[in-house]
Amino acid sequence: MKNWIVLALISMFFAGLTSVIAKMGLKNVSSDTGLAVRTISVVIIVAINAFFFQSAKDFKNLSTNDILILSASGITAGLSWVFYFRAVKLGDVAQVALIDKGSIIITILLSLFLLNEQFTWKIAVGGGLIIAGLLVLTLK
């Protein structure tokens, strides 16, 4: 199995844990408070990871454009988390997580148009199944 697939599967596992653990932690606090605690934890883990693997020395390689693009990514991630946590606080975590994964369709479309990535029949079928799943979840 390719390394990136193993890493993606590990990411999938932790992302699944994240949603359920977050829902449990939001029992007595607002979604914004829960998100603030989560974000502080993320910052600590990411900083430890960067320094442990000596990636911190890469900061000198960042261009202004890199910083702007990565900052935009951080802003969009933060906005996604704000709305995700509000949805998790109010709804069933399984349904919220499934709808949230519809972001894969946005990612596919943007990767085709902005990154010129290849569109294959596997991506088309997988994307179609995701759209079908979203319709099942959201239509009455």
- Residue 82 shares a structural domain with residue 112: no
- Residue 79 shares a structural domain with residue 42: yes
**Structural domain span for residue 68:** 3-91
- 31 sits in which H/E element: helix 31-52
Does residue 96 fall inside a structural domain?
no
Instruction: Transcribe 94-130 into DSSP letters.
Output: HHHHHHHTTHHHHHHHHHHHHS-PPP-HHHHHHHHHH
| Confidence at residue 99, expressed as pLDDT on a 0 to 100 scale | 87
pLDDT tens, residue order, the chain (140 aa): 899 999 998 998 998 899 999 999 999 999 999 999 999 999 999 989 888 887 777 888 899 999 999 999 999 999 999 999 999 999 999 888 888 988 989 999 999 999 999 999 999 999 999 999 888 888 87
Does residue 22 fall inside a structural domain?
yes
Last residue of a domain, one of 91, 110, 128: 91
Tell me the C-alpha to C-alpha distance, in Å, between residue 135 and each of 51, 95, 102, 132: 43, 12, 10, 5
- Residue 124 shares a structural domain with residue 69: no
- Residue 46 shares a structural domain with residue 28: yes
- Residue 58 shares a structural domain with residue 78: yes
| Confidence at residue 119, expressed as pLDDT on a 0 to 100 scale | 93
| Confidence at residue 138, expressed as pLDDT on a 0 to 100 scale | 80
| Domains contained in the chain, number | 2
| Confidence at residue 51, expressed as pLDDT on a 0 to 100 scale | 84
- Three-state DSSP at 35 gives helix
- Three-state DSSP at 137 gives helix
| Confidence at residue 1, expressed as pLDDT on a 0 to 100 scale | 84
Angle CA(43)–CA(48)–CA(51) in degrees, nearest 5?
A: 120
- Residue 105 shares a structural domain with residue 81: no
| Confidence at residue 52, expressed as pLDDT on a 0 to 100 scale | 84
